[in-house]
Amino acid sequence: MNTLIGLLAVVLIFIIVFQLAKASDLMGILKGEKEGENTEGANKTQGLLLMIFMIVGLIGVVVGWLIYEPQLLQGGWSFVPASMHGVEINSSFWITTVVCGIVFFITQAILFWFAYKYRGREGHKAQHFSHDNKLEIIWTVIPAIVLTVLVARGIETWYDITSEAPEGARIVEVTAQQFNWTVRYPGADAVLGQREFELISGENALGINWGDVKSQDDLMPSEIVLEKGVPVLFKLGAKDVLHSFYLTHFMVKMDCVPGIPTQFWMTPTVSTQEMRDHRNNQEFDYELACAELCGRAHWNMRYVVKVLEPAEYKSWVASQTPFYENVKASLAPPADAIPAGADSTVTVPVEGDTTKPSIGEKESDTNVISSL
């Protein structure tokens, strides 16, 4: 019913506007407006409207900025990037913003101001001005220089970020699938055990070769836990379709590609607790999200990431049991002892997936999993 009333209202408005517009055009014709020409009055009205748009618009941009600045890059000027390279990205971002911001304000202002100032008026003639080599060279060279600086800086930072991971970086393997993540740590020997595609099954989600001793101390926790200040190398992969490993606060993004391993390393610098205090929000957690469209529940791949102080990290590691312990007993018969989070067989009815789980309960095991 409401819809009907709404549609009727729209139709009515259309008719009214349309009739008024017809009358208005007719008036112009009766007043002797020359075909194809604008009257001085019309030009003036339009020029003024453009100026108003420009001024209000530019103010709006500034006001919007002031309102949302605290949230930009998850924290605006005062942002404490949660990773070492994040600081570099952050400063590139602000440099670019200053440069582009200046260009934006100047060019928009001039554009609309010219439109107003040089609007057609009686007795006013345009000036034939077809080119000016000097001017054109100036505005080719200046952008070229500015861009060269930005490129040089950008590429330098890019090489820093994409360089080899430092010796001794912790390894965390993350495997994406519709629609969750499986995480594996190398355990005490610091080497991940072998995986084989052929071994993948409902029970062995990653296709781990349990015969390989290196895999027998590997951990498969249900959160990503990192140690503050220690470089970590994420080894990324996907089982079914593309996904993207996206850690907003750490400024990490790297696609997970079936059949092709990718990686990204970084050093977390702000612990979860520090970030909670900084933001005055004790509920805060770092979140891992998927950034590459991977199907119907792409938006629902939340996974918690924790950064701990070194001491806390040690006790966390100590509290973990290698995943092998869970499957050892049942290696021959099908396992049913796989803990949530490492398992891709937990199924939630697909049709209901538009009803999202409420915030508290959406750790990995409630993620919607395809059962087509």
Partner 1 sequence: MAELHNPAIEVHHDDHAHAHDHHGHDDHGHHELNFIEKYIFSQDHKVIGKQFLILGMAWAIVGGLFSIFFRLQLAWPDESFPILEWFLGGWAEGGKLSADFYYALVTMHGTILVFFVLTAGLSGTFSNFLIPLQIGARDMASPAMNMGSFWFFVLSSIVMFVSLVIQTGPAAGGWTAYPPLSALPQASQGSGLGMDLWLISIALFIISVALGGLNYVTTIINMRTKGMDFFRMPLTIWAFFFTAIIGLLSFPVLFGAAILLEFDRLLGTSFFLSDIYVAGEALHHSGGSPILFQHLFWFLGHPEVYIIILPAMGIVSEVMAVHSRKPIFGYKAMVFSILGITILSFIVWAHHMFVTGLNPFVASIFVLFTLLIAVPSAIKVFNWITTLWRGSIRLNPAMLFAIGFVSLFISGGLTGIYLGNATLDIQLHDTYFVVAHFHIVMGLAAFYGMFAGIYHWFPKMFGRYLNSTLGYIHFYVTLVGSYAIFWPMHYIGMSGVPRRYFDFTVFNQFNQYADLNKFITVAAIVVFFVNLLFVINFFYSIFKGRKVTVQNPWGATTLEWTAPINPGHGNWEGDIPAVYRWPYDYSINGRDFIPQTEKLGPNESEDHDIGSDTPKPTEKVPGENLH
Residue 128, SS3? coil
Strands (E), 49-113: none
Task: Answer for the pair 172, 234: CB distance below 8 angstroms, yes or no.
Answer: yes
Using the minimum distance from each CB to Cu ion, give the nearer residue, 238 or 275: 238
Residue 353: CB partners within 8 Å, gap ≥ 6? 296, 297, 300, 368
Least distance to partner 1 from the beta carbon of 68, Å?
4
Asked if residue 182 binds partner 1 (CB under 8 A), the reply is no
- Using the rule CB under 8 A, which residue among 143, 310, 334, 339 binds partner 1? 143
Using the minimum distance from each CB to partner 1, give the nearer residue, 141 or 329: 141
**Contact code string over 242-261 relative to partner 1, x by CB under 8 A:** x-x-x-xx-xxxxx-xxxx-
Using the minimum distance from each CB to partner 1, give the nearer residue, 89 or 225: 89
**Contact code string over 295-324 relative to Cu ion, x by CB under 5 A:** ---x--------------------------
Number of C-beta neighbours around residue 229 at 10 A? 15
Using the minimum distance from each CB to Cu ion, give the nearer residue, 246 or 323: 246
Using the minimum distance from each CB to partner 1, give the nearer residue, 167 or 283: 283
- Nearest-CA neighbor of 341 among 148, 149, 185? 185
Residue ranges in 88-147 that form contacts with Cu ion under rule CB under 5 A: none
Least distance to Cu ion from the beta carbon of 290, Å?
3
Stretch that binds partner 1, among 109-117, 180-188, 268-276, 305-313 (CB under 8 A): 109-117
Using the minimum distance from each CB to partner 1, give the nearer residue, 99 or 230: 99
- When computed from its CA atoms, the radius of gyration of the chain, rounded to whole angstroms, is 30
List, in sequence order, the alpha helices (H) in 215-357: 272-279, 310-319, 323-328
Residues in binding contact with partner 1, number by CB under 8 A: 131
Task: Answer for the pair 267, 232: CB distance below 8 angstroms, yes or no.
Answer: yes
Residue ranges in 193-252 that form contacts with Cu ion under rule CB under 5 A: 243
Distance set, CA 314 to CA 73, 173, 207, 217, 309 (Å): 31, 19, 28, 16, 9
Question: What residues line the site for Cu ion (CB under 5 A)?
Answer: 243, 290, 294, 298
